[in-house]
Amino acid sequence: MVPRILVVDDEKDLVELISYNLEREGFGIIKAYDGETALRLVQTQKPDLVILDLMLPGIQGMEVGRFIRKNPEISHIPIIMVTAKNDEFDKVLGLEMGADDYITKPFSVRELIARVRAVLRRFQTAVEKDAKDTFGFQGLLIDFSSHSVTVDGMGVELSPTEFRILSFLTRRPGRVYTRDQILDHVWGDAFVEQRTVDVHIKRLRSQIEKDASNPQYILTVRGVGYKFTDVI
């Protein structure tokens, strides 16, 4: 199956440039130039990945991303957000929204293609590695084969990156991982700042913890990194 990518940007020339180069690399392309169209296409076409500009006319890219993450049928779709602002605040907002990676304009087509391949590869590797496995602890249940998570019987919708972080930490409960180790495992060879780990951990806690300020599952080990609590 050819991976299909939804490219969302109000700059039509940029959409055409991205689409042309991704098609040359063997990807199928779906195009949208505004948030409303993007919402319709992501639901009807269910692409394998979304390249999403934050600055859109009408419905903003941030709202499109939030909608994807809250909709159970499409919440698993990876998102690469695009921003024209080289501002950490925008990056943090996008990551908190549930984006799996980000790229700042202006960017090279080669860099974008590399990020697309890396995100798709991480997603596919996680699916294959986690097949036919489950994990349960104190109300938290993870089904790796279906990429589903429940807490006390209630479904929780996680982004692909959040799911990979949770999967990674629960493979070795009690073991402490540095931010760099989490980056290497979850993001692979993509260039991502350590701050990205903290943002995703914060969002993950808000999804699965009863009290995110006093977590029982994902613990901070001060000066080192994070771990899933000891399972006895």
- Strand ranges (DSSP E) for the chain? 4-8, 28-32, 49-53, 79-83, 101-104, 134-137, 140-143, 148-151, 154-156, 177-178, 218-221, 225-228
The domain spanning residue 106 has which CATH number?
3.40.50.2300
Mean pLDDT by groups of 10 residues along the chain of 232 residues: 93 96 96 96 95 91 91 87 74 77 88 90 65 82 88 91 92 86 80 84 94 94 89 64
Question: Which residue carries 């080289």 as its tokens?
Answer: 86
Please give the pLDDT value at position 50. Answer: 97
> Does 8 lie in the same domain as 119?
yes
Please give the pLDDT value at position 127. Answer: 59
Among residues 199, 43, 42, the alpha carbon closest in space to that of 51 is found at 42
Kindly state the percentage of the chain with pLDDT values over 90.
54
Give Cβ neighbours of residue 214 (< 8 Å, ≥ 6 apart): none
> Does 155 lie in the same domain as 68?
no
Reading the block at residue 227, the tokens are: 């771990």
> Does 49 lie in the same domain as 27?
yes
> Does 154 lie in the same domain as 66?
no
Please give the pLDDT value at position 1. Answer: 74
Tens digits of per-residue pLDDT, 96-127? Answer: 777 888 888 888 999 999 989 988 887 776 55
Total structural domains within the chain: 2
Reading the block at residue 78, the tokens are: 């990876």
Model pTM greater than 0.95? Answer: no
Please give the pLDDT value at position 126. Answer: 59
Contact 49, 101 (CB under 8 A): no
Determine how many CB atoms are found less than 10 A away from the CB of residue 130: 20
3-state secondary structure of 13: helix
> Does 74 lie in the same domain as 34?
yes
> Does 173 lie in the same domain as 81?
no
> Does 143 lie in the same domain as 107?
no
Please give the pLDDT value at position 99. Answer: 84
Chain mean pLDDT for the chain: 88
Domain with 111, as residue range(s), is: 4-126
